[in-house]
Structure 1
Amino acid sequence: MDTTLEALRNLVQTHPAIDNHAHNILTAANALNYSQYPLELLTTEARGSAIEVARTTLPHYRAVRQLAGFFECEAQWEAVKKARDAWVQRDYVGLVKKCLEGTHQLLLDDLLTEKDVEPILWHDQFTAASSRQIIRIEAIASRILKTLKPETKADLQTRWNQFQRMFTLTIQSSIQSSKIVGFKSVIGYRTGLEVDVDIKQKDPDRCSFAQLMDDIDPERIANKPFNDWLVVHTVELLQGSRKPIQFHTGLGDSDLILTKANPAHLQPLIARYADVDFVLLHASYPHTRDGGYLSCVYPNVYLDLGEVFGMLSRDAEESVIRQSLEVTPMSRLLWSTDGHFHPESFWVANRHFRDALETVLVDYVKRGDYTVLQAMDAAADILFNNSNRLYGLGLPTPTMNKSAASILTMTDTPIKPAVTSARPVLDAMLQSHPDSFIWMQFVDYTATVRVRMFPIREFVKIVQNKRRVGITLAVLSMLQDDYLAPGGSPTGQFYLEPDLSTLCRNAGVASNSATVMTFWRTERGDAMQGCPRTILQDIVTKLKNEFQLTVRFGFEIEVVLLKSSEEDDGSGYHRLTTVHSWSNMTVEIRKALPLLEEIVTTLDSIGLHIEQFHAESSPGQFEFILPHESPLLAVDQLIKARQTINHVVEKHGYRATLYPRPYPKGAGTASHAHFSISPVTNETSFLAGILEHFPAVVAFSLSQEISYSRVAAGIWSGGEWVAWGTQNRETPIRQIAPGHWEMKSLDGLANMYIAMAALMAAGYLGMTSKMPLNMKDCTDDPSTLTPEQRSSLGITTTIPKTLEQSLSALEANDPLQRLLGPEFVRNYCRVKRAERAKFAAMGESERVNFLVDRY
């Protein structure tokens, strides 16, 4: 069995789904009212006598067999209905619960009908997250029209004025509501999708809106100028709101004008209102390719893959997915059932979609078009992540994202779903090395990597939730030598939750083991404030959800290789190479080549692929460059790579140190970070926020007093002034390309999760306030400029020169504190001051040895 494909199949079938377009379910009293709500609607849009014919379609035959298995009855339509009737009468709530399994949240258009259905809140008992509402604008217009009844024709203009005012206020109020996450138009059903984008600029007398008021049927508004006005006016109000509007496109009942349901008709509207997001419902079938094309060329268009699943044959359903993947970016595809009235409509749609998606993704993996991980990401994005981001739902990413569910079957109790690499690694270890060990790791506020080790069978219990790993809260105040900072307490504990996506074999060390990074959880299992990985994850999620911003990091690992010695001025270490210079191949560097190549090949053996490596400027200093990755993964890999480098060099009796300035007269050692955002639309506000809050960010990126030995001019370490410059290595922020920068005021003593979270938080603050970028591109070393020249560039602030200065800047920065967590910031500052006092009391040699031994 191919375990990687099994992991993909399992993810597709089990990953929680956000149903981004659905309708309310019938009350129990109406669930068997088949004359009004035919059960055949599960597989057809036909009505009336056409339903009889629809019972001979492939979708109907397939659904009968599937529902027969669901209800455990004979595979005949009447037998299915009889078994269903019994279940509805016996336990309707239980039936609904069964049908909604796997649905994490519902986004409900509750204006499909005003009777016979349950309210939105009723549905919340079946989903992990509370349902949210989608507002149907034509239904709002209909409700308003019914309240306006003029006595004479002369009142029509007054009525039109009243309608405009009431409709506008209703939409504006809905935009402000946290319960309402989007809007919807069924203009495709009424007068077609060819909306006149200039309708509001036309002469009211020629459009005769006032006169139309007397002729419009409030029950079914089907006047083209009026319908076009509703859409255009709503879209105008939505500008800047970040709430999308859905359009019924393609497939529908006989009330639909099929020739006018092609989403291509919406292109002028989409192009005109580029800052409003449009969702094309129902896969635009049979115009799926047109919908996919619009989603490809317009960044504000999303293609919903709803309703068709259950309504089409198996081949057609798979074809819809293949067509949608032809050109549509994966970030633009959404999932929905269009479930309505009968709960089985949700069950059938979900089953058909997951089966079709599994078939298509597995096929593309086998053909080599996707890797397994890319296919897993695609499934998770379509089912959950894209809707979470588009509608601003703010839901935490499911822990089973990229799941290899039921990772181990070695015991009677199945393990809860976990993430990608876990199954192959754990399975292999259990089969070949059942006596192996797992190191559960976390990084504290001193950037010390703390480790708990478990026999692998005990680790299985942790993953199965059979036991928990409690850690004393004292770690929030603990220094490197385990002493508590003043104010710290040994009372209380938190719990480590393994992030199985990080599970990786230990290499270069004499240990049959693997490491896994962890999240910190409270007693109740909630995310704990102050968990470094959670802080980073949360701010990256906010950037994604609120600004549709994708962030990537890339790190440069600089280390100085040392030989252990009690000589060399009592430092305890001396240089591995002395004949040394930047990007040079000296005689001593050639002697070190076998060691350097062993480092790279060892990293490669565990999936950490170094892009390049070379000699840096300081004696014994080398740099290894990691590829760009998503933020949490990038920092996880940085920690793992550093550990592996040390494992390899320690085998040969050496030490690889991150110490910022081993030799006062030599170049310093940094941990430069590349960071990029996409799209680059708001890059100026993002950069402006980083520069505005930079003195406070430095409290995390230059986290020890020795770190500030690199805040100096002329040594290519970022200089002394808060500034930015294109390819300027004497500014702390070097711009490399639009939306791509390097942070230079950063070293290996920082907790990189927190440092990068603070950097991203500063960018986020700039975007939320739409901060202008008043600082200009600096092409020189700012320290060589006159005060007037710096002022003309907007360079007015120096980088803190001491740890105390940066901590004070952080404590004075309320917006950054609120974003990162005030309690966390207080703990962090307390630890850093205690750490500073400890090192100040040491002699120079003792301090250097202490830090080199640990970093």
Structure 2
Amino acid sequence: MPEPLTDSDRARRAEQARTAAARLTADGVDGVAVTWVDTSGITRVKAVPPARLEQAAAWGVGASPVFDAFLLDDSIVSGRYAGGPVGDLRLYPDLGRLTRLAALPGWAWAPADRYDQDGVPHPLDARALARREAERLAGSGCTVRAAFEIEWCVSAGTGDDFVPAGQGPAYGMARLTGLAGYLREVLTALAAQGVAVEQVHPEYAAGQYEVSTAATDPVGAADLVVLVRETVRAVTARHGMRATFAPKVLAGGVGNGGHVHLSLWRDGVNLMSGGPGPYGLTPDGEGFAAGILERLPALLAVGAPAVASYLRLVPSHWAGAFACWGRENREAALRLVTGSAGERSRAANLEVKCVDLAANPYLLVAAVLAAGRHGAGAGLRLPEPVETDPAGMDEETRRKQGITALPGSLAEAVVAFEADPVLGEALGPEVVDTVATVRRGELALFEGASAEEVVARSRWRY
């Protein structure tokens, strides 16, 4: 049972908040957005003025636990552990992540940790789960560095139809030139907020862009997903356009991914390189990768959590629709990125390609770390790598190589998730039941809907 907050915890938080509030007021900040991400992947918020930050830091901000049972359209389902009007939680802003928002003048932001009224972490708080899984790895002497790729599409106009704002060839310089001022403001806003951007570029679809941030601790990487998305959203609105991070923006088009990169480290050494395993993986690095690969069908209920996710997760679209791995294979759900010769000890990492930005990034981080931790602890080994597009193989060849298709629907992913003992132990019965309840709620919401209807109704929710 987690220990509750103590009087000394509250006093320390209050002192930290007093200092922060004075600085924010001097900088012209009038509001602090305190955010959490719900089970459907929507970022929710309560906000306080700096004058109330001390109270919020020491005693939290009230918020109903019902948000755990929200669907993407704000309707509410009811499960064993979430849903209904009774109860209250407290949102505690993490002042270590407090950031003045360059794209929203007068505002700052901090991610929330959710506690119950007795000061005990809420069992459905995904940020706490991600932190706990990172600590479990630390207990075995390992740390993880993580980063997300964030893809989004920009619509020219404020209506609900999608009108691509960027034209020209895929990945073409013409698309950067056409929105150069906009992309420059995205970069300057992120830099002002201390976000280390590694690259930004036009993506495959018209109006689609991607930004990649530097690797950091797993909870920090999930925090950055929230911060980067809201920064992009704010800059886009200031330019009279609209941004969407939805897994599918046009029914026949390419979707937005939210690939997560991870590397396992011990004593300053990258365990994804320099070992005797395939392509230099160490035994622990290989076990970590094999653990993730083994649990991919169940992980999809967390990492590809929307009905629309399965319109994106199709073969031969670089989405990773098959449960296999390979070096630099963008059709494999798990891609080993070795980096160039000479930098592999620093750069080698795993990329989980089959996930998207409808996911709660904290819950995804927690689940992936749990899968990798189990694989390393059990000494799992990877099957043979796949060096081609699995969709181009006949079924008999795939069978011989142990390559299986990932779930083709959210319903299949939920069944795999509920049956998975490793994720069940790591996340707990409250999370397993609530995730399954919310996912089935979305399935009911879109029952009988065409692909076009699913996309239209989910396009602007993310």
Residue from 13, 16, 22 that aligns with 1:427 = 22
Give the C-alpha shift of residue 580 in structure 1: 3.1
Q: CA RMSD in A?
A: 2.7
The Cα shift of 1:427 comes to: 3.1
Offset at 1:783?
Answer: 2.1
Distance 1:521 1:840, change over 3 A: same
In structure 2, distance between residues paired with 1:839 and 1:727: 35
For residues 383-532 of structure 1, what are the structure 2 equivalents within 5 Å? 416=14, 418=16, 425-433=20-28, 436-463=30-57, 465=58, 467-487=59-79, 488-509=83-104, 511-532=105-126
1:559 aligns with 2:156: no
Equivalents in 2 of 1:659, 1:527: separation in Å?
A: 30
Q: What is the distance in 2 between the residues matched to 1:399 and 1:779? A: 54
* Match in the other structure for 2:279: none
**In the alignment, does 2:143 pair up with 1:577?**
no
**Native 8 Å contact 2:304 2:354 kept in 1:** yes
Tell me the secondary structure at the aligned position of residue 575 of structure 1. coil
The question of 1:826 aligning with 2:433 is answered: yes
SS at match of 2:146: strand
Give me the whole-angstrom Cα distance separating, in 1, the residues matched to 2:13 and 2:356.
39
Answer yes or no: is the 8 Å Cα contact 1:441–1:516 preserved in 2: yes
Are residues 423 and 776 of structure 1, via their aligned partners in 2, closer, same or farther at CA, if it must alter by over 3 Å? farther
1:481 Cα deviation from its structure 2 partner: 3.8
Change (3 A) 1:793 1:828: same
Give the SS at the match of 1:709: helix
Query: After the TM superposition, which residues 2-17 of structure 1 pair with which residues of structure 2 at under 5 Å, given as runs?
Result: none
Report the counterpart of residue 543 of structure 1 in structure 2: 137
Q: For the Cα contact (< 8 Å) 2:41–2:360, is it kept in 1?
A: yes
Which of 310, 317, 333 is matched with 1:708 structurally? Answer: 310
Give 1:419-818 correspondences, 5 Å limit.
425-433=20-28, 436-463=30-57, 465=58, 467-487=59-79, 488-509=83-104, 511-545=105-139, 547-564=140-157, 572-582=161-171, 584-586=172-174, 589-679=176-266, 680=271, 681=282, 682-718=284-320, 720-737=321-338, 740-773=349-382, 775-795=383-403, 797-818=404-425
Give SS of 2:155's match: strand
Cα separation, 2, equivalents of 1:694 and 1:480: 23
1: CA distance, partners of 2:458 / 2:337: 33
Measured in 2, the distance between the counterparts of 1:836 and 1:607 equals 39
Give distance in 1, aligned partners of 2:331 and 2:309: 17
Post-superposition CA distance 1:363-416 (Å, at most 9, x none): xxxxxxxxxxxxxxxxxxxxxxxxxxxxxxx998x999xxxx99xxxxxx8854
Bigger radius of gyration among the two: 1
> Secondary structure of the residue that 1:725 maps to in structure 2?
strand
Cα distance, 1:763 vs. partner?
Answer: 1.0
Label 1:399 to 1:505 Cα distance change in 2 as closer, same or farther (>3 A).
farther
1:803 to 1:395, Cα distance in 2 relative to 1, 3 A: closer
Q: For residue 278 of structure 2, what is the aligned residue in structure 1?
A: none
Partner AA of 1:723 in structure 2: C
Matching residue of 1:169:
none
Q: Are 2:250 and 2:452, in contact at CA under 8 Å, matched by a contact in 1?
A: no
Equivalent residues of 1:486, 1:834 under 8 A apart: no
Q: Which has the higher helix share?
A: 1
Distance 2:6 2:437 in 1: 32
Q: Which amino acid aligns with 2:411?
A: E
Q: Decide whether aligned partners of structure 1 residues 415 and 846 sit closer, same or farther in structure 2, where only a CA change above 3 A counts.
A: same
Query: How has the CA–CA distance of structure 1 residues 768 and 399 changed in structure 2, closer, same or farther, with 3 Å as cutoff?
Result: farther
Structure 1: give runs of 5+ residues left out of the alignment: 1-393, 407-412
- In structure 2, relative to structure 1, the CA distance for the partners of 1:767 and 1:436 (3 Å cut) is same
Per-residue CA distance 1:212-245 (angstroms, 9 max, x = gap): xxxxxxxxxxxxxxxxxxxxxxxxxxxxxxxxxx
CA, structure 1 residues 846+456, in 2 after alignment: closer, same or farther (shift >3 Å)?
A: farther
1:21 is aligned to none
Contact 2:247/2:356 (8 A) holds in 1: yes
Q: How much does 1:812 deviate? A: 1.1
Q: Deviations over 1:64-110 (max 9, x none)?
A: xxxxxxxxxxxxxxxxxxxxxxxxxxxxxxxxxxxxxxxxxxxxxxx
Give the secondary structure class of the aligned counterpart of 2:286.
Answer: helix
Residue 554 of structure 1 deviates from its aligned partner by 1.3
| Deviation string, structure 1 residues 618-670 (Cα, Å, up to 9, x no partner) | 00111111111111111101210110011001011111111222234433211
Secondary structure, counterpart of 1:829 in structure 2: helix
CA distance in 2, matches of 1:399, 1:524: 10
Q: In structure 1, how many angstroms separate the alpha carbons of the residues matched to 2:194 and 2:6?
A: 22
Report the equivalent of 2:341.
none
Paired AA for residue 645 in structure 1: V
Would the alpha carbon gap of residues 684 and 826 (structure 1) be closer, same or farther in structure 2, given more than 3 Å must change? Answer: same
Quick check: 2:289–2:350 contact (8 Å CA) kept in 1?
no
- Deviation of 1:845 after TM superposition, in Å, equals 5.7
Distance in 2 separating the partners of 1:637 and 1:431:
25
CA contact (8 A) 2:308 2:458 kept: no
Closer, same or farther: CA 423–677 of 1 in aligned 2, 3 Å: farther
- Shift in Å, 1:423: 7.5
Matches of 1:430 and 1:626, distance apart in 2? 29
For residues 809-850 of structure 1, what are the alpha-carbon distances to aligned partners after superposition, in whole Å with 9 as ceiling and x for unaligned? 011112321111112110111011112221336676664344
Structure 2: runs of 5 or more not aligned: 272-281, 339-343
Q: Tell me if the contact between 1:734 and 1:741 (Cα under 8 Å) persists in the aligned partners.
A: yes
Deviation at 1:805? 0.2
Output the CA distance in 1 between the equivalents of 2:332 and 2:6.
Answer: 39
Q: Is the 8 A contact 1:507 1:647 kept in 2?
A: no
TM-score normalised by the chain length of structure 2: 0.87
Partner of 2:275: none
Distance 2:206 2:239 in 1: 18
SS of the counterpart of 1:794? coil
Q: Partner of 1:382 in structure 2?
A: none
Aligned pair in 2 of structure 1 residues 544, 432: CA closer, same or farther (>3 Å)?
Answer: closer
Matches of 1:755 and 1:715, distance apart in 2: 22
Partner of 1:722, secondary structure, is: strand
Rate the CA distance shift 1:803–1:652 in 2: closer, same or farther, 3 A.
Answer: same
- In structure 1, what residue type is equivalent to 2:90? Y
Q: How many residues align?
A: 436
Counterpart selection for 2:443 from 832, 836, 850: 836
Which whole-Å CA distance do the structure 2 matches of 1:470 and 1:425 have between them? 21
- Secondary structure of 1:604's counterpart equals helix
- What is the one-letter code of the residue matched to 2:42? T
Partner of 1:210: none
TM-score by length of 1: 0.48
Distance 1:423 1:842, change over 3 A: farther
The one-letter code matched in structure 2 to 1:734 is R
Q: Counterparts of 1:616 and 1:453 in 2: how far apart (Å)?
A: 34
**Higher-strand-fraction structure:** 2
The residue number in structure 2 matching 1:102 is none
Percent of residue pairs identical: 29
Which residue number in structure 2 is paired with residue 175 of structure 1? none
Q: 1:425·1:504 contact (CA, 8 Å) conserved in 2?
A: no
SS at match of 2:96: helix
